[in-house]
Amino acid sequence: MKLPPLVFALGYAGLLPFIAGPLWLTAAPAGAPAWLDPMWLSYTAMIASFMAGTLWGLALPTAEGPNGLAGMALSTGLMLLAWAATALPFPQALLALGAVFVLLVLAEVWRERVLDPLSGYFTLRVSLTTGVLVCIGWRYALL
């Protein structure tokens, strides 16, 4: 199965909020509202959880076997880590969510090798996650 162009368009559109926060703080730091960082961090955690959920969905067809169960457990663990990261103070939460995104890429490497690969999906996930990690690093550099 080949991914439709809409998947790529929506995936890259999802990077826009990641870019908006650090860009706002870079371009007009005095004009940044107090809600910007909490909202940005919330979006980051939500997307990390969503991406963990996609691993769950891709593991479902093999859920009765050990690899499918491992994929579902991995997905659940990553979602819980993303959620727990939001309980940390801002700079630590930022680093923790960055670590979750790195773990999500490692989980994708595992999924690509162990579960049924999906044409183009791995490349999309790695490129989007690279964009997210660049934005997290950019935001961290602005502290």
pLDDT tens for 32-51 read 999 999 999 999 999 999 99
pLDDT of residue 2: 84
pLDDT of residue 124: 96
The answer to whether position 49 is within a domain reads yes
Amino acid type, 53 = G
The answer to whether position 121 is within a domain reads yes
pLDDT of residue 116: 77
Q: Where are the alpha helices (DSSP H) in 28-120?
A: 36-59, 66-85, 90-114
The answer to whether position 2 is within a domain reads no
pLDDT at 94 over 90: yes
The answer to whether position 21 is within a domain reads no
The answer to whether position 29 is within a domain reads no
**In whole angstroms, what is the distance from residue 42 CA to residue 86 CA?**
7
Q: 107: closest CA among 133, 76, 136, 138?
A: 76
The answer to whether position 35 is within a domain reads no
Average pLDDT over residues 47-72: 95
pLDDT of residue 142: 98
The answer to whether position 27 is within a domain reads no
Determine what percent of the chain is predicted with pLDDT higher than 90: 95
| 143 burial via Cβ count (<10 Å: 0-12, 13-18, 19+) | exposed
The answer to whether position 18 is within a domain reads no
Domain that holds residue 90: 42-141
Q: How many domains does the chain have?
A: 1
pLDDT of residue 1: 72
pLDDT of residue 78: 98
pLDDT of residue 118: 85
Q: For the beta carbon of residue 62, count every other beta carbon within 10 angstroms.
A: 17
